[in-house]
Amino acid sequence: MRLLYTLALHLYALLIEVASFFNKKARMTRWGQWHTNGILRDKIDRQAKYIWFHAASLGEFEQGRPIMETIRKRYPQYKILLTFFSPSGYEVRKNYDGADVICYLPFDTPFKVFKFLHLANPAMAIFIKYEFWYNYLAELKRRNIPTYLVCGIFRRDQLFFKWYGGWYRKALQCFDRLFVQDEASARLLAEFEIENVSVCGDTRFDRVLEVKRQAHFLSAIEKFVSAGELLVVVAGSSWPQDEEVFIPYFNEHTGMKLIIAPHEIHREHLMDIESKLMRPSIRLSETNEQSVTDKDCMIIDSFGLLSSIYRYGHIAYIGGGFGKGIHNTLEAAVYGIPVMFGPNYQKFREAKELILAGGGLSFTNERDFKTLMDRLIDDTEYRQKAGHIVSDYVQQNSGVTEKILQELPLVSR
């Protein structure tokens, strides 16, 4: 089965190479991996000890970030090697100053695995949440390099737990320890005699608290929300399906203001949003000191600000619930405001727990959304109570980074 797995990866690599002629993402993956060995030769200090962190993409990077940054502060004798598989992670964080070396991870084929580990020569390897590359894990184990999984989460429908997945489950046995998010994951692993497990939680709670401490003051938005002192709804990472739900409500309710931070900010999407709005709006890029005071809606047409913008809201609408799944609820919850989202949230533990606690509010259609919004606007006590619930939830689940670091074999100077 391992041979078939390796052959499949060779085929996948070939398909990426063919696709690179007409697909930008495939081309970036191919060229990024092609440069990896050169980056390692030029930048790896052969006299230093490296801790290798691997993140599939941007979301996993954010989960690993608190651990990387704490190690960097507390254990300066170690250097950090950070790899990505996806261009959407690498291209955004290739200049991240919390790592010493950043590159793409080559495909999980034996020769490329051998070459990568020979050049990188890590003292420790940490995989974040997903991506269980069998050949990398087996070779790390063969070389006696301590290897860990952090923020892992396991479901019964994964290949490891199928009747035909026993060979792949051996990859999990290559980890020295698996730090998982919840008890359900630990119980599932125990069923298959994988006992080297610690239930620690999700480092994203630590990350959002740090982001809150570093939140930017945005003068244009400050003026926008203070003009008129109306209730403010922040719609974060919205898609057209979301906008079909909350924009009609906004158009009919003059007692609220709206900040829209769409997931995609290309020209056509921004114009589509504007065509639906029946009240005065402005794009962030067009604001000046006087231009926002008479506007009811602000459209955020730049990336990287959403985590700071939530601080200005009284209610958060989290986008993606009518598509593949909701976006980050914790970025908003950390500010102690109710979080609302569509029906596709089942894969997100924090969303389910927030609903059970009473601070997360899900709806299935425009009518349900209207019912929830009416109550949030009219019942101040209810809105504030929901906000306190989500704030407490974030605080109670923080401290994960420390739990993990206590179990890693890091040596202080």
Q: What is the pLDDT of residues 71-99, one digit of tens each?
A: 999 999 999 999 999 998 999 899 999 99
Asked whether residue 405 carries a pLDDT value surpassing 70, the answer given is yes
State whether 179 and 262 are in the same domain: no
CATH code at position 269: 3.40.50.2000
State whether 160 and 292 are in the same domain: no
CA dihedral sign of residues 247, 248, 249, 255:
positive
Asked whether residue 123 carries a pLDDT value surpassing 90, the answer given is yes
Average pLDDT over residues 193-209: 96
Mean pLDDT score across all residues of the chain: 94
Assigned domain for 207 exists:
no
Asked whether residue 7 carries a pLDDT value surpassing 90, the answer given is no
Amino acid at 331: E
Give the pLDDT band of residue 4 (cuts 50, 70, 90).
Answer: confident
Give the pLDDT band of residue 289 (cuts 50, 70, 90).
Answer: low
Asked whether residue 328 carries a pLDDT value surpassing 70, the answer given is yes
State whether 21 and 64 are in the same domain: yes
pLDDT digits (tens, 9 = 90+) for 222-275: 999 988 789 999 999 999 999 999 999 999 999 999 999 999 999 999 999 999
State whether 252 and 170 are in the same domain: no
Q: Between these two residues, 49 and 11, which has the higher pLDDT value?
A: 49
Asked whether residue 199 carries a pLDDT value surpassing 60, the answer given is yes
Alpha-carbon distance of 342 to 322, in angstroms, equals 6
State whether 340 and 230 are in the same domain: yes
Assigned domain for 208 exists:
no
Assigned domain for 258 exists:
yes
Strand pairing partners for 257? 232
The helix/strand/coil state of 80 is strand
**pLDDT score for 122:** 97
Tokens 């727990």 sit at which residue? 353
Share of the chain above pLDDT 70, in %: 99
* Segments forming the whole domain that contains residue 290: 215-396
